């Protein structure tokens, strides 16, 4: 839970932030970030025995800055549609995160009034939805945070109480820099064989591969394997390989 970050975007109502700080304490999560204003006295009133979480809250002017250092960013949003595809429901989120203890996970919650703007949700790697009554699916902000942290916390505690197979380093979920490095490698190879028509094509392919990796919670080995494949493409065009070590291994 030490690598789970609760990120609130412009919370509106007094007291909600304090209630969230208290439940974060309940579930051993103490990383709170807010896009917007500092907590008010009502928040401290509701953050019973959890005031230290409010004291060290980190504030940001915008969501982009608040998530820049995250390995995975997951937008919690009740909005669904053809252009607002839900990648995970809350129960699937637990399974997705089960082997991600070494990654920094940002859980992004929107405003109580209208949630996350489309432009904010698009900054995130994945969208998650808490399954609820279709005719009234919107949860109170503090309740939504409770549901998500409760499920993650209990899943982690369960795994600590059973014997877990230890994976080799490359079979652990890949950090963000490994994913970005692999996608950049793919784009560089495709540029070299003149496959793109314009900058929009490049951006679309980048987004395509990033989304595949994030949704699969790709391991470092998967990112390396992709580079091996595109190294062979480079070899077939130019008669020599490009090499495919990750940046940190060069």
Q: Tell me the per-residue pLDDT of 3-34, one tens digit each, with 9 for 90 and over.
A: 999 999 999 998 999 999 999 999 999 999 99
Residues 157, 92: Cα–Cα separation, whole Å: 17
Please write the tens of the pLDDT for every residue from 189-224: 999 889 888 999 999 999 999 999 999 899 988 999
In the chain, what are the domains?
A: 4-160 (3.40.1280.10), 169-249 (no CATH)
Asked if pLDDT for residue 250 goes beyond 50, the answer is: no
Beta carbons of 99 and 159 less than 8 angstroms apart: no
From residue 99, give the alpha-carbon distance in Å to each of 75, 92, 124, 237.
19, 13, 20, 38
What's the pTM value of the predicted model, to 2 decimals? 0.80
Q: What pLDDT score was predicted for residue 88?
A: 87
Q: What is the pLDDT of residues 124-141, one digit of tens each?
A: 999 998 888 878 878 889
pLDDT at 245: 67
pLDDT at 110: 94
pLDDT tens digits, 46-56: 999 999 999 99
Q: Please, is 142 exposed, middle or buried when counting C-beta atoms within 10 Å of its C-beta (0-12, 13-18, 19+)? A: buried
Q: Please list the residues that pair with 107 across neighbouring strands.
A: 6, 74
């Amino acid at each position: 839970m030490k690598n789970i970050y609760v990120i609130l975007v412009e919370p509106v109502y007094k007291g909600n932030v304090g209630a969230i700080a208290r439940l974060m304490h309940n579930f051993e999560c103490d990383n709170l970030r807010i896009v917007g204003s500092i907590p008010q006295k009502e928040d401290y009133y509701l953050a019973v025995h959890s005031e230290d979480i409010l004291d060290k809250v980190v504030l940001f002017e915008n969501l982009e800055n608040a998530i820049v250092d995250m390995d995975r960013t997951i937008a919690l949003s009740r909005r669904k549609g053809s252009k607002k595809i839900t990648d995970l429901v809350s129960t699937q989120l637990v399974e997705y995160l089960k082997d991600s203890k070494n990654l920094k996970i940002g859980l992004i919650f929107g405003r109580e009034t209208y949630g996350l703007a489309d432009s904010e949700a698009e900054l995130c790697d994945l969208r998650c939805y808490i399954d609820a009554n279709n005719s009234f699916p919107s949860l109170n902000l503090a309740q939504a945070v409770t549901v998500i942290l409760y499920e993650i916390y209990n899943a982690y505690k369960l795994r600590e109480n059973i014997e877990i197979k230890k994976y080799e380093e490359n079979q652990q979920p890949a950090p963000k820099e490994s994913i970005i490095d692999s996608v950049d490698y793919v784009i560089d190879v495709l540029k070299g064989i003149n496959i793109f028509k314009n900058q929009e094509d490049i951006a679309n392919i980048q987004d395509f591969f990033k989304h595949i990796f994030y949704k699969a919670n790709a391991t470092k080995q998967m990112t390396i394997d992709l580079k091996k494949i595109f190294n062979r493409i480079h070899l077939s065009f130019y008669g020599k390989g490009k090499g495919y070590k990750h940046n940190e291994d060069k």
